[in-house]
Structure 1
């Protein structure tokens, strides 16, 4: 069982620890955020919270049954009833259905609380786990693209009926 919580300043310490603890794990499948991300984490968090306050993004932390932060799931670039989905689940929670549950929950939030009608996501071809999560949660392939010079697929999902 997981819980999504909307990102707040109170998550800062746990979120920074999560990012530090999983840095090498994430770098195996997505570009590393670099040292500046960690050095300026507080400034970055304040900027994210400002984006969330103005409604252009919705950031969430994923908590396990014990209340430990095990992931993030975000909706960014909200416009015209749509947003781009992004997520990252820590190594300790991978392979246990956490990403699938988090994506399903954020889809419900997107359709309900946020009033969105569709979501998009982009995943590189060398990230089969994320591609499988999107397929399991109702996303369909919508075309080829490139991310950080790597071949990728764009996915989309209608939120009608949620």
Structure 2
């Protein structure tokens, strides 16, 4: 599957809202819920405006992962960009219909190539839970170094987990 990363735009609001709505139950199996308000289009649109404003100010970059037909298959974000330290924090999600097909790995590779070329950041930090083996594989496949496991335990969906911290450094 050919993929592209496109920066978040207001023109994608309806398609992104449908993507989030269609994957709500799936996403909530591995990440905390966004709350019911998020799934009202007017609230979603207000939050989207805030994200685009953040992106315009260079605080974060929000990307849509799209297939060859320009359908949204996932999201990838580089947030809390610290220009002085040249660091940012990674987040991503892939829709249920596209999970397990290598999309997150390929999209992350595209992102890392892009930030390296543009010099946006020199180091990307990431974290995932101890039970999210797929996410650990995506990060490690793309050259992220496992740093440590947090001491704090969180309880989510009846499971006790901790966070694994990672970093990637540009070559």
Instruction: Please tell me the TM-score bracket, short chain as reference.
Output: over 0.9
- Structure 1 stretches of 5 or more lacking a match? none
**Aligned match of 2:167 in 145, 156, 159?**
156
Tell me whether 1:74 sits opposite 2:85 in the alignment.
no
Residue equivalent to 2:46: 43
Tell me whether 1:128 sits opposite 2:133 in the alignment.
yes
Tell me whether 1:29 sits opposite 2:35 in the alignment.
no
Distance 2:46 2:154 in 1: 24
User: Does the CA contact (< 8 Å) of 1:29 and 1:126 recur in 2?
Assistant: no
Distance 1:98 1:35 in 2: 28
Residue equivalent to 2:96: 91
Count of residue correspondences: 160
Residue equivalent to 1:116: 121
Distance 1:28 1:8 in 2: 27
1:112 partner SS = helix
2:118 partner SS = coil
Distance 2:25 2:115 in 1: 30
Tell me whether 1:104 sits opposite 2:109 in the alignment.
yes
When normalised by structure 2's length, the TM-score is 0.89
- Structure 2 stretches of 5 or more lacking a match? 156-160
Residue equivalent to 1:139: 144
When normalised by structure 1's length, the TM-score is 0.94
Compute the RMSD of aligned alpha carbons: 1.3
